[in-house]
């Protein structure tokens, strides 16, 4: 059903999993719902179905809003909290599974440990440009909603049916797919609905997943989202929108990581807007999120102007003061000139 999942690749994966001892399951820096869901699900399958010593190793701690996706039963190491432990875990693993990113560089703090490891490595991902040479086995296609969906089809085949997967594994996959598609709004394929249908038929509580993702925010988020849309959204004559979430605004609204999830999508609701950018000021850079309508490439914009990449219509990157722009206050001018050039 998914062309990159061939029976010979499944056989190779099965042999790697059967033959291994310790496994590290890894995803990208700034982990999102798909990174959390796919790593949680892989780890649960390895531990509960195969009895393996598997742990999730992430470059950074999960934001509060998606922490529910990682069940307490999954051993989890975060490189920003315990870098030595994370690196040691990778060094002693006899198999590495990388999910929801196209290569080592997207794991930032874990990159050196991955390069130093000579364990076989498996990539399961849906981004463009998979770094094939870094892996012994690659399952990769952009023609799928999420890494969680791709993993679902792989695990279903390995386990011999949806119902053979642990309930917590199915729930994590459901959450990962739901967040990456923005609840079936983007990157949805026939296979995505088939996955949802099979998960619900097998008793997965989608209502609970939806409740956790969309109905448990703090009041601050709602007030901040309203403020950004009414006061900070700038529309350009070229059909773009951008917003800058400065440190000052973050402090005023008591902002926490993850609380502007979905904000960058909002301006695309305007007929004239084909590209939307959100810049969020961090300690050493501005993090950039880009979304576009069909026919305009968010990915190209992120690659050309923001040191980044991603998917055709959902991408990201960063802008570094002292490197790309003199100071944070120059971001506005940089963005406007980039948009003018890109959309000309």
Q: Which residues bind ligand 5GP (CB under 6 A)?
A: 28, 30, 32, 106, 289, 308-311, 314-318
- What's the rounded Cα separation, in Å, for the pair 77 and 50? 21
53: how many CB neighbours lie within 10 A of its CB?
14
Q: Which does residue 311 touch among ligand 5GP, Mn ion, none (CB within 5 to 8 A, set by kind)? A: ligand 5GP
Instruction: Decide: 213 and 179 in contact? Cβ < 8 Å.
Output: yes
- Nearest approach, Cβ of 146 to Mn ion (angstroms)? 5
* First-last CA distance in the chain: 40
Quick one: which of 27, 34, 174, 188 contacts Mn ion (CB under 5 A)?
A: 34
Closest CA to 207 of 167, 186, 178: 178
**In angstroms, what is the minimal distance from the CB of 146 to ligand 5GP?**
9
The item of Mn ion, ligand 5GP, none sharing an interface with residue 52, based on CB under 5 to 8 Å by kind, is: none
Residue 125 in contact with Mn ion, rule: CB under 5 A: no
Q: Which is nearer to ligand 5GP, 37 or 166 (CB)?
A: 37
Number of residues that bind Mn ion (CB under 5 A): 5
Which of these ranges, 88-96, 175-183, 204-212, 317-325, lies near Mn ion under the rule CB under 5 A? Answer: 175-183
Long-range pairs, 228-232, Cβ under 8 A, ≥24: 228/260, 228/263, 229/263, 229/266
Residue 156 interacting partner from Mn ion, ligand 5GP, none (CB closer than 5 to 8 Å by kind)? none
Distance CA 266, CA 186 (A): 13
The whole-angstrom separation of Cα 113 and Cα 109 is 8
Given Mn ion, ligand 5GP, none, residue 317, with its beta carbon under 5 to 8 Å by kind, binds ligand 5GP
State residue 125 phi and psi, 5-degree precision: -155, 160
Q: Applying CB under 5 A, which residues contact Mn ion?
A: 34, 100, 146-147, 180
């Amino acid at each position: 059903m998914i062309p990159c999942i061939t029976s010979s690749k499944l056989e190779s994966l099965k042999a790697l999993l059967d033959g291994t001892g310790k496994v590290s399951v890894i995803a990208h820096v700034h982990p999102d719902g798909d990174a959390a869901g796919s790593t949680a699900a892989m780890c649960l399958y390895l531990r509960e179905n195969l009895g393996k010593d598997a742990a999730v190793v992430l470059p950074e701690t999960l934001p509060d809003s998606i922490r529910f996706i990682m069940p307490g039963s999954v051993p989890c190491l975060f490189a920003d909290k315990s870098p030595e432990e994370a690196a040691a875990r990778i060094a002693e693993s006899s198999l590495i599974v990388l999910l929801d990113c196209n290569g080592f560089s997207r794991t930032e703090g874990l990159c050196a440990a991955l390069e130093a490891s000579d364990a076989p490595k498996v990539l399961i991902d849906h981004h463009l440009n998979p770094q094939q040479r870094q892996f012994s086995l690659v399952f990769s296609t952009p023609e799928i909603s999420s890494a969680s969906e791709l993993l679902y089809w792989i695990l279903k085949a390995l386990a011999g049916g949806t119902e053979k997967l642990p309930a917590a594994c199915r729930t994590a996959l459901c959450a990962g797919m739901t967040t990456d598609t923005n609840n079936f709004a983007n990157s949805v394929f026939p296979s995505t609905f088939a996955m949802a249908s099979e998960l619900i038929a097998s008793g997965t509580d989608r209502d609970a997943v939806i409740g956790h993702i969309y109905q448990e925010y703090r009041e601050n988020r709602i007030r901040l989202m309203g403020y950004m849309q009414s006061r900070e959204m700038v529309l350009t004559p070229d059909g773009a929108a951008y917003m800058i979430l400065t440190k000052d605004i973050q402090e005023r609204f008591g902002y926490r990581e993850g609380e502007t999830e979905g904000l960058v999508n909002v301006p695309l609701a305007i007929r004239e807007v084909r590209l939307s950018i959100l810049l969020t000021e961090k300690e050493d850079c501005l993090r950039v999120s880009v979304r576009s309508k069909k026919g305009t490439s968010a990915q190209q914009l992120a690659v050309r102007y923001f040191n980044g990449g991603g998917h055709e219509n959902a991408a990201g990157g960063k802008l570094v003061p002292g490197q790309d722009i003199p100071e944070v206050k120059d971001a506005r001018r940089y963005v406007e000139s980039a948009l003018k050039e890109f959309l000309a």
